[in-house]
Amino acid sequence: MERDLSCEQSRAASEKDGDLVTDKENLHGRLLAATDWDQQWNVWFDRYSAGTPRFGIWIRSLGFPQSTRSLEIGAGSARDSRYLCSVFKNATAVDFSATAIDCLARCSTPSNFRAVCADAGNLPFPDREFDLSFARGFVGLFSTAEATSKIVEQARVTKSCMLVGLHNLHNLRLRDSFDEKRRNDSLYNVSFYSRSEGIGLVRSALAGGSREFRIDALKFGSPLFNRISRSTWMPDWMLRKSALADVWSPIRLAENLVIRVDFV
Ligand SMILES: C[S@@+](CC[C@H](N)C(=O)[O-])C[C@H]1O[C@@H](n2cnc3c(N)ncnc32)[C@H](O)[C@@H]1O
């Protein structure tokens, strides 16, 4: 009941402010330790692995060159990186859950895929090691300060482009369904971000650095794109067309806002 009330209050405040704001600092009941995630992956790894790598398909639609070396942070099942191996020169997946990494070691994976057990706050890679880095369903686990330090570390190992996928606060239906589910399942206990909050978070994380960058918020996971992208293999021209479903869909229908940073 209390939770419902606070949601309503935050929505009322949001409407008044002309923007949507949620509390990013209440981490009570969140999955934060590697052992929390070990338990999750013991149960869910096979199911996640069998799911369509929608985010990987969407990344492919952005048209990065074949020579791309990609990094996924907080990869879990790494289904997206495993898919991207067939598109890019190589793909690296990082997670701090030893169970997730063990499960990946037992899967048959292409030779240009590697899984590394490491904390996202202290990645075992040199500066600018990867052309492209991405994280989805990851930054929303943390407080603003923690999220900021993870983004700074992601930027350190990224040469050209980084993508930060955040749950979309403009999608009120999705947020309400997470509010309902999080009562019984910590997996749904994540922060949602509005467009301006997401851009603000990443921009301020990078502001202390010396690199110049362009920043934008893209939409991912509209119902139409999800339907079309069920097939992992479609020609590039068809994929580019299907990705337009996300570009044209209203922001309230997107599952994620993906903050894209291009270093110049
Ligand atoms: C929601 S899951 C991501 C799922 C993944 N995108 C997939 O499709 O399978 C979040 C992941 O972040 C990982 N994680 C959380 N905190 C981390 C940290 N500090 N360093 C590295 N990985 C972390 C968890 O172990 C978990 O696998």
> For 237-260, what is each residue's pLDDT tens digit?
888 888 888 888 999 999 999 999
Asked if the structure places residue 24 within a domain, the reply is: no
Contact present, 226 and 256 (Cβ < 8 Å): no
Strands 90-95 and 158-168 come out as unpaired
Q: Number of structural domains, the chain?
A: 1
Ligand 1 neighbours (beta carbon < 6 A): 37, 48, 74-77, 79, 95-97, 100, 119-121, 136-138, 141
| Backbone conformation region of residue 262, classed left if phi is above 0, alpha if psi is from -120 to 50, else beta | beta
Domain contains 96: yes
| Mutation choice for ligand 1 from 96, 107, 192, CB with most ligand atoms inside 8 A | 96
Angle at 71 between CA 208 and CA 158, to 5 degrees: 30
Q: Is the pTM of this model over 0.75?
A: yes
**pLDDT score, position 174:** 96
What is the Å distance from ligand 1's center to 81 Cα?
Answer: 13
Count of Cβ atoms closer than 10 Å to residue 208 Cβ: 8
Number of residues that this document lists for the chain: 264
pLDDT, residue 22, reads 65
SS3 content of the chain, % helix, strand, coil (to 5): 45, 20, 35
Does residue 105 form part of some domain?
Answer: yes
Q: How far apart are CA 50 and CA 66, in angstroms?
A: 25
Question: Would you say residue 2 lies in a domain?
Answer: no
Q: What's the rounded Cα separation, in Å, for the pair 64 and 139? A: 23
Spacing, Cα 137 to ligand 1 middle (Å):
7
Could you read off the pLDDT of 68-122 as tens digits, one per residue?
Answer: 999 999 999 999 999 999 999 999 999 999 999 999 999 999 999 999 999 999 9
User: Are the C-beta atoms of residues 191 and 137 closer than 8 Å to each other?
Assistant: no
Pocket test for ligand 1, best of 39, 55, 82, 95 (most atoms within 8 A of CB): 95
User: Binning pLDDT at 50, 70 and 90, where does residue 15 land?
Assistant: very low
Residue 257: strand, helix, or coil: strand
User: Which residue's CA is the closest to the ligand 1 atom numbered 27?
Assistant: 76
Nearest CA owner, ligand 1 atom 23: 74
In a domain, 118, yes or no: yes
Q: Is residue 6 part of a domain?
A: no
Domain range for 147: 30-263
Q: Within 13 Å, how many C-alpha atoms sit on residue 45's CB side? A: 20
Q: How confident is the model over 148-192, as pLDDT tens digits? A: 999 999 999 999 999 999 999 999 999 999 999 988 888 899 999
Residue tagged 């929505």 (tokens): 11
Instruction: Classify residue 1: in a domain, yes or no.
Output: no
57 vs 133: CA distance, rounded Å:
15
Mean predicted lDDT score pLDDT of the chain:
89
Residue 53 carries which DSSP code? -
The span from the CA of 221 to the CA of 255, in Å, is: 5
Q: Which of 41, 44, 80, 97 to mutate to test the pocket of ligand 1 (most atoms within 8 A of CB)?
A: 97
Predicted confidence band of residue 21 (pLDDT cuts 50, 70, 90): low
In a domain, 11, yes or no: no
The domain that holds 60 is classified in CATH as 3.40.50.150
